[in-house]
Amino acid sequence: MIRNDLHVHSIQSSCAIHTILEIVEIASRKKMRLVNISDHGRATGREMSFMVLSNKRRCPRDLMSSNGGMITILAGIETNILDVDGNSDFPERFRGDFDLVSAGFHFPAETLIAERSAKKNTKALENYLKRYPLDILVHPCIATFPLEMEKVVDLSLEYGFALEVNNTNLRVGKTVRTQLRSMIGLAKEKGAILVENSDGHSFFEIGENELIEDLLMEMHLNGNDLFINRHDNVLDDFVEKRKGLRK
């Protein structure tokens, strides 16, 4: 179980099924502490929930479930890297309002999908970073968008963003496992930041990390030594620092 899940979608993403209040209930039932609502940018989603979530006068940071459990809800976004020039659907006018900014490659990046060039995809990420904020690079080992992994790890060190290990992508077979092993090894060697996330779109996915645990066992690694979101204080400091950079 992921105590602090930094990649969860609400019904505001066109691919997920739960409201934010339902997610609070799910998280409480699973004994979680924190959920980052990272709904998709406009290129892949609908109207985004962060506009309400980020306004703390209208939506408190901590929400109580029906069983009395308190769940911290972060206002995030999963923005899209759209092309080799690093263009994105990131809503610039809300830059300072997000708790966390995640980004990744998805189907709107049609040219990058067609070419499947690790060099061009890595250049797209590099160009994105020159223009937009990034706190978490989501599913960096997805098969449809190969990356030059050592360069990506070096970029994460330069810009301070975290690299995600994604449970749902492992479960549905979207992850290139050799790339993921390489990323984890390089991040551990160089001191890059890693997070484990569910990429939850439904009750059965939110907060789950069973495939991540299986992978760690294969690699003889302890997730407590790898993932900052297994440590509340470390994660809270990371969120505060990253948000402060966008003020």
pLDDT of 134 strictly over 60: yes
DSSP per position, 94-154: GGGG-SEEEEE--TT-HHHHHH--HHHHHHHHHHHHTTS--SEE--TTBTTS---HHHHHH
Q: What is the mean pLDDT of the chain?
A: 93
Please give the residue that has the higher pLDDT: either 60 or 169: 169
Q: 3-state DSSP call for residue 25? A: helix
Distances (CA, A) of 217 to 99, 118, 148, 182, 211: 32, 28, 25, 15, 10
Q: CB of 195 within 8 A of CB of 227?
A: yes
92, amino acid identity:
E
pLDDT of 47 strictly over 70: no
pLDDT of 49 strictly over 60: no
pLDDT band at 77 (very low <50, low <70, confident <90, very high): very high
pLDDT of 218 strictly over 60: yes
Model-wide pTM > 0.85: yes
pLDDT band at 247 (very low <50, low <70, confident <90, very high): confident
What is the structure's pLDDT at 55? 62
β-strands 136-137, 162-166: how paired? Answer: parallel
Q: CB of 76 within 8 A of CB of 50?
A: yes
Count of alpha carbons within 13 Å of 196, Cβ hemisphere only? 28
pLDDT of 100 strictly over 70: yes
Count of alpha carbons within 13 Å of 142, Cβ hemisphere only? 23
Residue partners of 160: CB distance under 8 A and separation at least 6? 193, 242, 245
d(CA 86, CA 71): 35
What is the structure's pLDDT at 56? 55
Q: CB of 41 within 8 A of CB of 13?
A: no
Pick the CATH number of 4-245 from 3.40.50.300, 3.40.50.12160, 3.10.560.10, 3.20.20.140: 3.20.20.140
Q: State pLDDT tens for residues 17-34.
A: 899 999 999 999 999 999
